Amino acid sequence: MADKPVYEEASIDGQPPKLASIPASDTTVWADASPLLQAACAGLRDGELIHGDNFNLFAAMSALEIMDPKMDSGIVCTYYSIDEAIENGAAPIPISLDSTIDVRCTIDIMDHLLACEAAWHKGHSLAQTVFSCIYLLRLDRTAPHALLHSYCRIIRATCKAVVSVVSDARTHEEEDLFTMTYGLPLNGDGDDKCLSILNAVEETISRQLRACKATSSKRRLPEDLEPLQSNPNLEEGFCKALLCRLRFRKHFFHVLSCMKRPQGRGLESARKHIASCLTELESILKSADFLRSCFDESCEGDIDDKTTASGFEPIGFDAMLNSRLSAPTPPRAIKILSWKKAVEYFVKLLHDLDVICSYSLDPHLESLLRFVVQFQKSQPDLVARSHLQLLLVQDGKLYGRDPFFAVINKAAALPEATKNHDIQKNESFLQLGMLVMNLLKILCTNAAWQRRKLGKFLQDWRVIYVQLELAFRNEYGEVSSSSNDENTCMKIFQHILLWVEEQTYWIAFRFLILGFELELYSTGEYCMVYWYLYAVLIKLTEKTHLMMAVSHDTAKRKGKKKKDSPKDLARESRIPPAVLFLQCYICLAEGLTMMLAALRNEIPVFHSPSPFNTEHEKFVQHFELLQRACIPDHVSYPSYKESTTHARFSTLAMYNYFKDAQRIAKEVKSSFSNDPERLAELRKLEQGIFYPI
């Protein structure tokens, strides 16, 4: 077996490579395999490889490509260990004997760490991003450098807090490298004091900044105060640049801590810290001009691609140092975000967290589901979604305070008194509570993961409906034969069965809509998708209308009215705004289906069969999960063909679906005057926008 070459890469000046510092042992002799590999390369054609007699397909899938940085974790690195890097001066303490350069380099390290942290949040491994910093890997060495030591401590504590949040939420299956710490020193002694250490350093620099301003106004300086660096003209700018970075870290750590408090008790405090974070990020951006102007040296390349505000390369980082810690996967090629993009990422993250903190913790499930769906439209990243999930589901309760049976009780328009009924101990009701809890967790995942889970999840909702229906019939007989409204258990069953049906069709609707967001449908498939949406919306509207009628009846009984006035009767006969809102969607879905079907039937260019699969196969691919759950009943490919085969423009003109949608949207607008999100949606519906074709 040939050993890998153990020579370092040739240096820039063209000198021959030096032997790597991996010593041979009594049982190991290192040999240079480069000539053998070069000879093999010369004799191999594209696609060929050298292999032994026992080499097979399984081995090929597990093989590593020697000298490929993405595959070969043993590829020659600059340093083979942290100690070797430190011995070679890769992370000096102090960073420079020139105090001015030392301060600038410290700021560069802070900026690059921010960019590494953003890259980690985006899905890269912790080992090759934040912990590519040698100072973090040997934090005790930074103790003599108070400024760097305090910053590295708060970074480590922040990483630990973020890993904890994502692990607890368990939304990291989609970014499975996020919570893997690879044995890195994430838990350190004294990290609970990181804020007090940071506050002490911040206070020292604040005093120095006040001293700078006192000098300009010719006031007396404190005698015990030493300047940060040797150039008086740069002192104030450096103080401001450092303070905004330190304060951002402090407030961001407070945000994470406050948001983890149970039952949303820390949300108000978190919002205050979020506002402070955004202010400090603005100051960090403004400090870039000063940092670039205070040195005569010019930076090579585009400043917008740099990972530091000054444009200089940071000291003390080596992304390949931890590449061997990336097992069981080969090391990834890491591209750290630029400093500007990292700041933009944190601004968006903070805005997303602020949206979560500003939520009123509404106990109504319908409002909550709308909030989560609306929140997902901003495409929040993993950290924000994890915080949302932890807020919604705590200790098996909504917001950590409301049992899920009570939440279902309210959603199903049952009287308040029934929320503590013993029927909640029934196995089917316990399973239903788990389904609602899992639904909230699924809605907090990313769009692709969410759609996959919802598709499989639909069958669970159909099964629970059947179980509840069987339990109801075993207990009370056929629904039609029961008329005793005073029976509380029967009322609970009736209301919840209806609510489960409505919720099932809502999940189906969400599943189909996510296909648009993920661009899973080709233009030739829009006709069948809108047709299926139309079928689902018909059932959803029907169940929603029934649910609202039941809800109105419950409220009416609670009010104990003896006689209905003509005004009340007229109000009852009106269609509820929420139902009219869904009818807008129905008109648009039907209109788009018929329009696309007519185009396909009358204009040949719109009917181009796929060379890979038939229309029937596409139908099965897109709707198989819905079909398995019988959502809706009696909907199939033959019924789709029957509905669209005879569509023509001559018949389409007789039914102005789009005009009906526009009319309904205008009528219902006044009912949502206090709901800006619904109003925005209605404006789109008025313009005929369902999802872009």
Q: Residue 220 burial by CB count (10 A; 0-12/13-18/19+): exposed, middle or buried? A: exposed
Q: Residue 97 burial by CB count (10 A; 0-12/13-18/19+): exposed, middle or buried? A: exposed
- The string of pLDDT tens digits covering residues 216-244 is 555 555 556 788 888 888 888 999 999 99
Question: Higher pLDDT residue, 363 or 556?
Answer: 363
User: What type of residue sits at position 324?
Assistant: R
- The string of pLDDT tens digits covering residues 559-589 is 554 455 544 544 455 788 889 999 999 999 9
Integer Cα distance of 129 and 482 in angstroms: 65
Euclidean distance between the first and the last CA atom of the chain, given in angstroms as a whole number: 59
Q: What is the mean pLDDT of residues 193-217?
A: 85
pLDDT at 78: 73
pLDDT at 250: 96
Residues 6 or more apart in contact with residue 508 via CB below 8 angstroms? 458, 536, 540, 626, 629, 631
Q: Residue 20 burial by CB count (10 A; 0-12/13-18/19+): exposed, middle or buried? A: middle
Token match 């929040």: residue?
Answer: 380
pLDDT at 211: 84
What letter does residue 400 receive in the DSSP assignment? T
pLDDT confidence of 173, banded at 50, 70, 90?
Answer: low
Please give the share of the chain, as a percent, with pLDDT higher than 70. Answer: 81
Q: What is the mean pLDDT of residues 335-360?
A: 95
Under 8 Å between Cβ of 539 and 632:
yes
Question: Higher pLDDT residue, 553 or 119?
Answer: 119
Question: Higher pLDDT residue, 174 or 283?
Answer: 283
Tell me: pLDDT of 381 over 50.
Answer: yes
Least confident interval from 297-306, 405-414, 424-433, 494-503? 297-306
pTM score: 0.84
Tell me: pLDDT of 387 over 50.
Answer: yes
pLDDT at 2: 40
pLDDT confidence of 13, banded at 50, 70, 90?
Answer: very low
pLDDT at 331: 59
Integer Cα distance of 6 and 18 in angstroms: 9
Question: Higher pLDDT residue, 102 or 658?
Answer: 102
Tell me: pLDDT of 111 over 50.
Answer: yes
Tell me: pLDDT of 64 over 70.
Answer: no
Integer Cα distance of 644 and 17 in angstroms: 71
SS3 256: helix
Please give the share of the chain, as a percent, with pLDDT higher than 90. Answer: 48
Q: What is the mean pLDDT of residues 312-340?
A: 76
Integer Cα distance of 159 and 118 in angstroms: 11
Residues 6 or more apart in contact with residue 12 via CB below 8 angstroms? none
Least confident interval from 422-431, 443-452, 508-517? 422-431
pLDDT confidence of 3, banded at 50, 70, 90?
Answer: very low
- The string of pLDDT tens digits covering residues 397-430 is 999 999 999 999 999 988 888 888 888 888 889 9
Integer Cα distance of 88 and 79 in angstroms: 9
SS3 265: coil
Token match 């949206």: residue?
Answer: 355
Strand partners, 19: 7
pLDDT confidence of 508, banded at 50, 70, 90?
Answer: very high
CA within 13 Å, CB half, 662? 8
- As a three-state string, the secondary structure of 515-544 is HHHCCCCCHHHHHHHHHHHHHHHHHHHHHH
pLDDT at 605: 66
User: What type of residue sits at position 532?
Assistant: Y
Alpha-carbon distances, residue 199 vs 154, 209, 287, 325 (angstroms):
11, 15, 21, 34
Residues in the chain: 693
Q: Report the alpha-carbon angle 543-392-410, nearest 5.
A: 40
Q: Report CA 69 to chain centroid distance, whole Å.
A: 29
Q: What is the mean pLDDT of residues 291-302?
A: 70
pLDDT at 303: 73
- What is the DSSP annotation of 550-584? HHHHHHHHHHT-SS--HHHHHHHHSPPHHHHHHHH
- The string of pLDDT tens digits covering residues 18-37 is 444 556 677 778 888 888 88
pLDDT at 251: 96
Closest CA to 626 of 516, 466, 511, 518: 511
pLDDT confidence of 176, banded at 50, 70, 90?
Answer: low
Tell me: pLDDT of 76 over 60.
Answer: no
pLDDT confidence of 70, banded at 50, 70, 90?
Answer: low
Mean pLDDT of the chain: 83
pLDDT at 275: 97
- Paired tokens of 240: 């401001």
SS3 19: strand
Q: Which uninterrupted H or E stretch holds 403?
A: strand 402-403
Integer Cα distance of 523 and 192 in angstroms: 56
Left (φ > 0), alpha (ψ -120 to 50) or beta: where does 570 sit? alpha
Least confident interval from 108-112, 423-427, 685-689? 685-689
- The string of pLDDT tens digits covering residues 607-654 is 767 777 888 999 999 999 999 999 998 899 999 999 998 888 777 765
Integer Cα distance of 538 and 632 in angstroms: 9
pLDDT at 222: 57
SS3 478: coil
What letter does residue 40 receive in the DSSP assignment? H
Under 8 Å between Cβ of 636 and 513:
no
Integer Cα distance of 139 and 133 in angstroms: 10
